[in-house]
């Protein structure tokens, strides 16, 4: 009788422990679902710029088109390489005349879910963003009128623009170039990461280390700035809430202040997306940190009230790697043939 009673008590105890463990796992999933949303399987509908197959195809061709630049060497893909996680594996990008830009190139993947574009949010959407690098002297260093002249010099482009923007008397415009690139970039999303599957209800999609990292990420406030669909990109935050990062990482960049001229915006940046973060090194706006673990250490010290312990950092890194989704397969297009009217490269 005593053995039976003891066995029953042990069994009940095990059931209690297992039940509590299951409840804890369910609670983590519930907490995660409150902070995050999975990447949708299809591209979102863009207000005022509906996608069509013809427009997406034109946008893809333009994305790889180096003749949008003055030198005919630099395309969108140069700094946002679809084979490198949508970034370029450089501290700051190399542009026209081998000049270096002031900031690290953010990934183009899932960027359609950002509240705005660029580190300082100076572009309201991807169409506006597409116009910036084309004209920036340290990037593509071109002018809208020269871009249009170049595109109109190639009959294939004229036909592609007519198909993408039917009914327009003069469809080959700088604005339409940007709109086409926008709808293509909106398709560059990375669904079905292990973390996405977890958010959809698959408790086994994350291992124990990744789950511990997710719990630390939420409990220590990381998700307050890196939540939502894109795990960031939804607002602007001060870099150095608790402790100012070392000056080498800040690199003298005053962030959003350069756009707003408001003193409280000094050293404020749009939070970057943390999805696919293991692929998009180096890190921060300056690109000065090359290790993911080192980046977590910096953020732990600069942004959190409680500095993470070594095992917590390791688990957070494991969790962040679990946000790497299915990379879009993009086939490099054959670009339209130049004619004797196509402007020649200027390398100055």
Catalytic residues: 139
The C-alpha atoms of residue 203 and residue 282 are separated, in whole angstroms, by 31
> In angstroms, what CA-CA distances link 45 with 49, 229, 287?
8, 15, 32
The C-alpha atoms of residue 104 and residue 87 are separated, in whole angstroms, by 9
DSSP bridge partners of 255: 268
Closest CA to 325 of 207, 223, 214, 188: 188
The C-alpha atoms of residue 147 and residue 152 are separated, in whole angstroms, by 9
SS3 153: coil
CB 322 within 8 A of CB 210: yes
> In angstroms, what CA-CA distances link 347 with 73, 74, 150, 288, 336?
9, 11, 16, 29, 22
> In angstroms, what CA-CA distances link 158 with 52, 63, 146, 155?
17, 16, 15, 5
- Retrieve residue 227's tokens: 């939540």
SS3 216: helix
The C-alpha atoms of residue 160 and residue 86 are separated, in whole angstroms, by 25
Q: Please measure the distance between the N-terminal and C-terminal CA atoms of the chain and give it in whole angstroms.
A: 95
The C-alpha atoms of residue 85 and residue 107 are separated, in whole angstroms, by 7
The C-alpha atoms of residue 176 and residue 190 are separated, in whole angstroms, by 26
The C-alpha atoms of residue 101 and residue 190 are separated, in whole angstroms, by 27
């Amino acid at each position: 009788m005593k053995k039976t009673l003891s066995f029953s008590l042990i069994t009940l105890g095990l059931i209690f422990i297992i039940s509590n463990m299951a409840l804890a796992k369910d609670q983590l999933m519930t907490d995660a679902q409150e902070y995050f949303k999975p990447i949708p399987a299809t591209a979102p509908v863009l207000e005022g710029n509906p996608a069509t197959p013809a427009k997406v195809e034109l946008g893809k061709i333009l994305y790889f088109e180096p003749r949008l630049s003055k030198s005919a060497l630099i395309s969108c893909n140069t700094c946002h390489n679809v084979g490198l996680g949508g970034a370029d594996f450089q501290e700051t990008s190399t542009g026209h005349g081998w000049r270096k830009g002031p900031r690290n190139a953010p990934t183009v993947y899932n960027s359609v879910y950002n509240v705005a574009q660029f580190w300082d949010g100076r572009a309201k959407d991807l169409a506006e963003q597409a116009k910036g690098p084309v004209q920036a002297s340290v990037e593509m260093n071109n002018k809208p009128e020269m871009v249009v002249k170049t595109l109109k010099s190639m009959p294939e482009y004229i036909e592609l623009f007519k198909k993408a923007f039917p009914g327009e008397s003069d469809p080959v415009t700088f604005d339409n170039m940007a709109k086409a690139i926008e709808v293509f970039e909106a398709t560059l999303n990375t669904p079905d990461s292990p973390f996405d599957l977890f958010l959809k209800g698959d408790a086994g999609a994350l291992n124990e280390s990744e789950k511990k990292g997710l719990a630390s990420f939420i409990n220590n406030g990381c998700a307050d700035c890196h939540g939502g669909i894109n795990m960031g990109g939804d607002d602007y935050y001060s870099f150095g809430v608790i402790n100012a990062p070392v000056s080498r990482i800040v690199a003298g960049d005053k962030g959003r202040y350069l756009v707003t001229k408001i003193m409280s915006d000094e050293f404020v940046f749009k939070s970057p997306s943390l999805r696919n973060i293991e692929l998009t090194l180096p890190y921060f706006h300056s690109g000065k940190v090359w290790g993911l673990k080192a980046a977590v250490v910096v953020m732990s010290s600069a942004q959190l009230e409680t500095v993470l312990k070594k095992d917590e950092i390791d688990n957070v890194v494991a969790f962040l790697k679990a946000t790497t989704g299915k990379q879009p397969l993009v086939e490099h297009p054959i670009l339209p043939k130049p004619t004797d009217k196509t402007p020649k490269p200027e390398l100055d």
